[in-house]
A and B are shown apart, each in its own frame.
Chain A
Amino acid sequence: MQLTGMLYGARLLRHVDFPTAEVLGPGASEDELQDFIARHGLVFVKPLFKGGVGKKGKSGLIGKVRDLKTALAEKERLYFVEHRHGNSIAKANGVTFEAGVPAEHEVYFSITDDTRYRAPTITISHKGGIDIEELGKSDVATVPFEALTGLKAFVVANALTDLGAPREIISPLVQHLPKLWELVHHYGMTTLELNPIRMCPGPGGRLTPVACDFKAEFDRDDPRVQRLDLPDHLFAADLSEFEHEVNQLRTHQGQSDVFVINSEGTILAPTFGGGANSLVTEVLGEAAVISSDFGGNPPYEKMKEVAAICYRHFLKQSNVLFIIGGKSNNTDIYETFRAMADALREHFSTQGPTPLYVVVGRGGPNLIRGFGALSETCESLGLPYRFFGFDSAISEVVNYARKVDAWMRAGGRQQVAKAIGLDPAAHS
């Protein structure tokens, strides 16, 4: 759950009275825009992405304008622009207009939980405005602080002093930066980064830090995020319909996030346990439809509902239903397998049969009862299956599932289709 940009960033910073650059959203009229440019002289036009998309500047996705005509041209260029980073493509939907803030000093500041210290930690540099990785170590201070007492002014003052920061920026930063801890800690954030904070001279020459860009990551397990009343769509970045549906069932008992790996994949693998999830994702690669962790002893009803959603979205295209996990410690195999089996039976009842080979690798409490429930269902649905116990190497079981998938692609699917009374030609 990430949020970038000043459109919502400015609103969040106002919760703790942190000064921000003025910003207009995509709905700004030409008159408003003209007035905005007249007041600020320099305006940045930035595409609006959902979720966390960084490195926009480096990708040429930030427009710098001083007149309305250029502003509108940049708006047109950037409104639906695509941003490619590695394998991911993000598509913009709108732009923001952010006022340029004249300043001599730019500051980098972030708060995050650093695993080196196992404590909340600030990172600060008085040479901000560029990527933090590009700064020399002596220009950056990283300082953990006490979570129970919070970020105190002296922590900031000490860090800036150690860095040798210009005197005139220390006092205003010491005054304003500790407020940001309130925003992080009380609103469910795990990371907040402001870069740059431009030190804007005010009346009498005193500098005021003004946040000119905003990046935050939220903790989806923290209900405090809801205090911000942010619209859900902000975090619906790349969520497919399936992800949205299945992750609504996410609770503390069972099931971590479920992602679609390849919506065209042919192995549907409900996976139990984070370890198994990593392994399965690794070995199956693009053949896997989803990446999931349904461990944590989910109750029958929930498991059945989750399985039904998975089947509804992906069973038709799947060659292999691959139920895989290590030797569970606590997850009741009977309950979870019975749920998945019943959901499978109901799916076949309502959506009709589909050619499928069922491969299972699992261990844990009530294992054979669980195997029994699933095998009964496979038998009655006419599906072929192979269930491996926990004494088979899990990675070999995953490889086996891959081989079955390959066989299904090479004509096995037609064989199974015929065996369950479907037209093989329709499944070639």
Chain B
Amino acid sequence: MYRQGIAGFPYYLGIQSLADIATREDRVAVLNIIGGESKTVSPVSHAFSGGNIVFGTSPGRQGQVLETPSGDIPVYNNVREALNAGHRFNFGVVYLPPSGVRDGVAELIRVNPDLTKIVIVTEKVSVHDAREIRALAQANGIDIFGGNCLGVADSWNRVRIGGALGGDKPDETLQKGSVAIFSNSGSFTTTIAQYLATSGWGTTTLISSGKDIYIHYSARDFAHALRNDDRTRSAVLYIEPGGYYERGVDFGKPVVACVVGRWKSKLTRAVGHAGAMAGAGDSAEDKERWFLEAFGTEGIFDPEAADTSRLYSAKGALVTNISHIPDALTAVMALNGRSPDFAPQGTLSLKPWMVNDRGLQLPPELEIAPIEAMAPYNVQIAGLKRQIGAVVPRQNMKDKSGATQLDPSTQVTSVHGNRVLDLARVPLEANFALPLVHEIGSDNDRAMLDIAVAAEVNLVRDPAVLIAVDAAREAGNSPNTVMAAAAAIIGPRRVERALACTRRLIDLFAFSGLTDARDEDFDVSKIQVDEATRELFRATPEEAEDPRPEAILQAVRDRGSRSVFLKFIETLDQRPSRDALLAAISATIAWEPLVRKKISRLTAETLPWYLRLYGVMVGATIPKEGHQYGMLCGIPRAERFGSWTMADLCYLAITGKKPKDAEAQPLQMLIGLLISNGPGAISAQGAKGAVSADGPQTPARVQINKAMIGFLTHTGYSHGGNGYEGMAFLIDQFKSTGLADPTSPDHGLDLRAMALRYAEGYQAEKAATKEAGRPSRSIPGVHHPVFKGKAINFDPRERFIAEEMERTNSYNVFHAFYRELVQALYDVGASPYVFCVNVDAIIAALLLSLLWKDYKSGTLAEADLENAAFTIFLYGRMIGAAAEIDDHINRGRNMDTRTPIEQCGFVV
């Protein structure tokens, strides 16, 4: 049952011409106008179309308005209320959720006698409702577009109704021309219009038809209106498989049909008649055939085909790739004696707007250089580029870290993607830089860091720190507490100028084109400097006595290091302050990762604070007497600045001596191993809590030195002294052996016999304690709750270090003893299988090897050994803490380390 519309159609059709679909006279009502989608789309449509929406509905929201650039649109509870208020409309737009669409259509039709057209934007309307909607509209003489569509638009009339054709900038896409578009795909309706413009074709009417089973305004209906629209000389159809809508349709004007979906049909499952009933004979191939027959062409049009002459005709062309549409249309229209509507606008060639190949060696066809985007996108991209460094979203960082991660299966922690095992093989200065640049720095960066830290270690020119540290040590504090006393003094004001200098350097060079901070050929003369900047970098009269600026610059020359920033500061032709040089070194180290957006600007700007803290905290572990003018533990300034590494400095701090040959090697390995145990480690928790309490969302208020103190207060004799337990165990075994050099395999000891002796004693003790019902004691460095249960067990961390020692021909008698011990324990029946030698054992072995000679000579007492072990632990964790602090400042939220009350307990 249908109302007769245009004569000759066996169903109702009211649209005579494409020009009638979306007109300036249409008055529109939008159902669910303030729903999620409509509230962003409708204002743009309304403004573009000259204010054609007379009202919207939203049950229960009568009296509200939808604000638009063309004035507010009133909202009513329902259509009847709006009509009663005097509004009149002929075009309904349905943005209701799927279950409400049928009723919305019924409301529009039954309540408003003036209604002629409806757009249903909603997708996933059930077939049940679609068939009833069709019947309802047919019976009442209403044309419906959709469902599941983006509505209709008219580039001549400057109107779009019921959807977002042309997106948020319809003017950009809806350019007046001679081509009508009918598309099963909403987004491709706009995309095709965009593509057509590249060949100079504009549009008349654009219809997003939707692709549900029921296409209420179909290709046949479109063809009729196309024939009757004088403005339109050709059409483009974008067609997907399913339905007989296009079969046997006479379009009456040239048409380019893009039929897609061939490959996808392979995905459909084997179905019998039930599925086939709806789908047989309307596949992509079938549809291609329909159009080829209609056009009288012999194949799919491809502009790159050797001979295209039989692939298009005056009636049209078939394409299967939408980017071939413009060429196909131009070819077809040429046969009709028609040229494009306007000059081509752009091309469809590949235009990467944003690129980063990260230095990969791509083949030339992939290495397409970035091309400036069209306006206004080029301006927006330029704006993005002005943003310096990475921006990381903030989140709750309690017990989380973006810097460190402990792999529970291997128990190996990674710091910024580098396993601590690998870090144990890396020079110490690279490890100290890692938390701040998030990668292993270059040789140049390492040398820079060595100089910068070396310039801070000697505290003789900073009596406040030296006195505080000495007082703290004298008071019997542990090494961490002594370090904390020093860190407390390196507060914000102590780094204010260094940070300001770094900030200024970043500002000055940010858009200078500098990518490599070592590139001393870079023309620094183009950097504009004002007097305030010069003053910022200039040493004050009070600093006239400080010899370090010159020493730093000399050290840089001695080491052959390069820095654009140092060069720049030297060109200022004034005596630079130590802060200025620290800032320049920091900027040099940070520059590349900053430019690559590997690190944030905040990280780069705060780098001098960390470097100063590193130096002062290491300096705090050296007794007061070691700090002399120009000398540290007897080592002259020039030597330390000019050639010493971080490992040398740490060795000096621990032993008071300059390391010979590879003496500092075990120390470097140890510190690498100790850097981090992930965000759950107590030390990390202390650092993170301190950051969280200052409020990282206002990063300028976070006191990095206080965060370091947070880490330090969260270490102690238990957490930090573990290495000592292993050492004490080993001392017990070796103190009466006469061992002279633990690194020599020619020690003359029968390690197997020593191990068996201990194992038998342990076995006897174990039996006795079992008899007494007490748990047996564990042996430091032996066994691990994860690496157990096999016939022979290994801690992969111990294996890694053992292999590294083999590779470097290093020997460690204590480690060799441990290996004998685990076997002996098994041999005497003290263990059910061969326990692993765990990572604590190797730490103890390395530590004791480092300190053995001083211990044996009496220079170090056992208490000193404990202090030394603890201090080395602190050096390692200083790096890990820096990583957590920087990460938490960048990512965390204020007070995010709090534990929710429901997870807290009360005990009695």
Contact = CB atoms under 8 A, between A and B. Distances in A.
A229 interface: no
A236 B636 CA distance: 78
B492 to A, nearest CB: 27
Nearest to A132: B273
Interface on chain A toward B: helix, strand, loop, or mixed SS? mixed
B190 A329 contact: yes
Given A52-B271, A275-B191, A395 B321 contact: yes
B150 A379 contact: no
Interface stretch (A30-38, A202-210, A214-222): A214-222
A272 to B, nearest CB: 7
Interface in B341-363: 346-363
B187 A192 contact: no
A274 B355 contact: no
A147 to B, nearest CB: 4
A94 B127 CA distance: 32
A376 B597 contact: yes
B350 A190 contact: no
B272 A52 contact: yes
Most chain A CB within 10 A, of B99, B322, B353, is at B353
Contacts of B267: 259, 261, 281, 291
B784 to A, nearest CB: 23
A188 B126 contact: yes
Contacts of B195: 393
A278 interface: yes
B263 A53 contact: no
A191 B278 contact: yes
Interface string B177-211: 00000011111111100110010000000000001
A100 interface: no
Contacts of A133: 280
Which among B274, B324, B358, B360 has the greatest number of chain A C-beta atoms within 10 A?
A: B274
A342 interface: yes
B11 interface: yes
A135 to B, nearest CB: 11
Given A326-B190, A395-B322, A415-B361, A2 B128 contact: no
Given A148-B139, A404-B366, A279 B322 contact: yes
Interface string B29-45: 00000001100110000
Contact of B366 (A110, A215, A297, A400): A400
A232 interface: no
Contacts of A363: 167, 191, 194
A221 B147 CA distance: 13
A305 interface: no
Contact of A274 (B164, B184, B278, B351): B184
Contacts of B132: 147-148
Q: Which of B163, B198, B266, B273 has the most CB of A within 10 A?
A: B273
Contact of B358 (A219, A272, A376, A419): A419
Contact of B270 (A85, A188, A261, A388): A85
Interface stretch (A10-18, A73-81, A310-318, A367-375): A367-375
Contact of A275 (B36, B125, B185, B242): B185
A279 B277 CA distance: 26
A375 to B, nearest CB: 5
A365 B168 contact: yes
A: contact size bracket: 35 or more
A223 interface: yes
Interface stretch (A20-28, A63-71, A111-119, A159-167): A111-119
A119 B240 contact: no
Interface in A182-238: 185-186, 188, 190-193, 195, 215-217, 219, 221-224, 237-238
A368 B380 contact: yes
A265 interface: no
Contact of B245 (A115, A186, A415, A421): A115
Contacts of B37: 253, 297, 330
A217 B167 contact: no
B718 to A, nearest CB: 30
B598 interface: yes
Nearest to A113: B213
B275 interface: yes
B368 interface: yes
A166 B238 CA distance: 47
Contact of A296 (B123, B190, B243): B123
B57 to A, nearest CB: 19
Nearest to B169: A365
Contact of A191 (B260, B275, B324): B275
A295 interface: yes
Nearest to B11: A118
Given A328-B167, A329-B166, A380-B390, A394 B150 contact: no
Q: Which of B198, B277, B356, B360 has the most CB of A within 10 A?
A: B277
A88 B264 CA distance: 13
A285 interface: yes
Contact of B262 (A238, A282, A367, A397): A282
B305 to A, nearest CB: 15
A54 B126 contact: no
B339 interface: no
B418 interface: yes
B596 A379 contact: yes
A208 to B, nearest CB: 23
A391 B351 contact: yes
B409 to A, nearest CB: 12
A39 interface: no
Nearest to B352: A386
A394 B360 contact: no
Interface of B: 1, 11, 36-37, 40-41, 97-99, 122-128, 131-132, 134-136, 139, 150, 163-168, 173, 183-191, 194-195, 198, 211, 213-216, 218, 238, 240, 242-245, 260-264, 266-267, 269-278, 280, 282, 320-324, 346-363, 365-366, 368, 373-374, 377, 380-381, 383-384, 387, 390-393, 402, 405, 417-418, 439, 596-598
Given A281-B264, A379-B598, A387-B352, 18 more contacts: A87-B266, A110-B273, A115-B244, A191-B278, A219-B128, A275-B260, A276-B185, A281-B263, A282-B262, A295-B187, A328-B187, A329-B190, A330-B150, A364-B167, A386-B357, A393-B322, A420-B417, A421-B418
7 contacts: A52-B275, A110-B273, A193-B277, A273-B186, A275-B188, A275-B260, A412-B360
Interface of A: 2, 4, 51-56, 83-88, 90, 110, 112-116, 118-120, 123, 131-133, 146-149, 185-186, 188, 190-193, 195, 215-217, 219, 221-224, 237-238, 251-253, 259, 261, 272-276, 278-279, 281-282, 285, 291, 295-297, 299, 325-332, 342, 345, 349, 353, 363-365, 367-369, 371-372, 375-376, 378-380, 382-397, 400, 403-404, 407, 412, 415-416, 419-421
